[in-house]
A and B are shown apart, each in its own frame.
Chain A
């Protein structure tokens, strides 16, 4: 623990935070990639320095994924894609500092709640995670997809179509049962499937460029909204007041993030989708006010950072990765000759304490620090005339797509995804649901096929296990609530339209 507070320890944390802020802000450079590129350096560092640096990288990178959403409506990481439209709208209306303030403060509290549960309930939660089989994962994926359909502000039919297209994209490449190549068109580049980060850059980033070029609507400088009070007030104080007004939402979203995060293979991306979708759904049934978007972002951002901490629960307690980052972390453990698992808490208490300390520092100090820094920069970037900014964004889309695998083929996929999204936008089909389908599609297919084969195609086995039944009931309740809320919203809109349309008598 003392090493964490030495100058080397603090340098590792601050350096990791800065590195994570850069990676998270650039579309295509994810937290996982940042950690993967850090491994050669981690090899030469003491684990008490290397692992806290990884924690700082991940925590700040997941937050910094929101910077691209604020500047150009391009989520920097998949975890930010769940609420990109809402965050962009907030930044347009109330400024980049307020938007990123919600994101940073929500991340801080979510991260803290996840850390507290990591410290006090790691072993218990890991036991729960151990009870999750492919049947439960199947229902989790169904629940997430269902939430995605009803979270769409437009037509549920269009959201369903977008989701189906996303899941269809996820079937490209080698299939999980026989290793058969599907829809690869004879190209070896397609065997690994379509990378959803590449797709995300095309869907959100490149399509935005195409949309603006098509309509030539971006010739004006973006209106920068007036800041109410000082910069610190917009970044720190107003978001804190928002959180105090929505305490239960932050707590609920953080707990959702913690729950999804500690399931091996789930992680921050899915956590953000589930929490923000539920909030969108809940928000539609409540009285609409100016803070509806703010609450969606708060839900998403607090859940994804809670998941960052809780993904370490199965990694530390069971030696199972909670997400891709902790999979790399487990590699670092092995590289350093440390065996993760229940005995880690007994044999390496100093290291475990240093990890807990690093999580607390990353969330309480580094997130607000780098959050304010990135918000400050973003507030200037959004003042650049949009016609010049979009050119640069197009360049970043190309380089971001290439950087993921150093493969020019990915750039071509990104461009084609941009064209696909441009066409979908013409019919008001939501894009976020395409990404959700690509994220959850592989989990859905793999868990279904594994479960079906395991149960010798006795499909009643999907309804046998108590947790699976609980998740199925939650899905049915969600469908019922979603349909009711949609129906109520439609009749309210029809009534409002009837009231606002002047009658024949009025016109006369």
Chain B
């Protein structure tokens, strides 16, 4: 089984799993007083549609591997690439997690500097851009637009 076909199967299986989870989650939702479906109706229908779509993706992967192989790109997941993505996600979560303790400027600067370095910018150039852009963003939002950061 080639890698593209594997990718398609993974996506299809993921949609089936998500749809199934949503379906079981909606079973606990209340119904309307007259017994008609209420909050569960819409997400329930979406869950069915998602499972059906997931099955369609799976079937396409099995029945027409060559066609889907052309449609889907390969995952091609080099470990270092994923590690860099994980690092940016952690840097992006610094502000919601630590804004009370250390504030906007250090968390934002860490993100901007980190992304620039991960994209192979020269460290001194990245540092200049980080300092300048962090302060421009901070001052324009707090002073000009009145958004407390």
A residues lining the B interface (CB < 8 Å): 22-23, 29, 37, 154-155, 157-158, 160-161, 164-165, 167-168, 171, 175, 177-178, 180, 182-183, 206, 209-210, 212-216, 218-219, 385-388, 390-392, 394-399, 402-403, 406, 408-409, 411-412, 414-415, 418-419, 422, 426-429, 445, 448-449, 452-453, 457
Contact = CB atoms under 8 A, between A and B. Distances in A.
Contact of A392 (B41, B92, B112): B112
Given A391-B130, A402-B147, A426-B7, 19 more contacts: A37-B146, A154-B71, A155-B71, A161-B50, A161-B53, A164-B50, A178-B39, A183-B25, A209-B88, A213-B88, A213-B115, A213-B118, A388-B129, A391-B114, A391-B126, A392-B133, A411-B92, A415-B93, A426-B75
Nearest to A160: B53
B111 A398 contact: yes
B62 interface: no
B134 A411 contact: no
B46 A418 contact: no
A403 B81 contact: no
A403 B141 contact: yes
- Which secondary structure dominates where chain A touches chain B? helix
B36 interface: yes
Nearest to A393: B115
A259 B2 CA distance: 50
Interface in B83-106: 84-85, 87-89, 91-93, 95-97, 99, 104
Contacts of B54: 161
B27 interface: no
Interface in B19-33: 22, 25-26, 29-30, 32
Given A399-B104, A426-B73, A427-B7, A387 B15 contact: no
Contacts, number: 187
B133 to A, nearest CB: 5
A290 to B, nearest CB: 25
- Which secondary structure dominates where chain B touches chain A? helix
Contact of A395 (B22, B36, B39, B133): B133
Given A157-B53, A395-B108, A427 B119 contact: no
A206 B92 CA distance: 9
16 contacts: A164-B49, A175-B38, A178-B38, A183-B43, A213-B85, A213-B115, A215-B81, A216-B118, A391-B121, A398-B111, A399-B137, A408-B96, A409-B96, A412-B97, A427-B11, A457-B36
B145 interface: yes
Nearest to B119: A387
A219 B91 CA distance: 20
Given A183-B25, A387-B119, A427-B73, A157 B60 contact: yes
Contact of A178 (B30, B95, B115, B147): B30
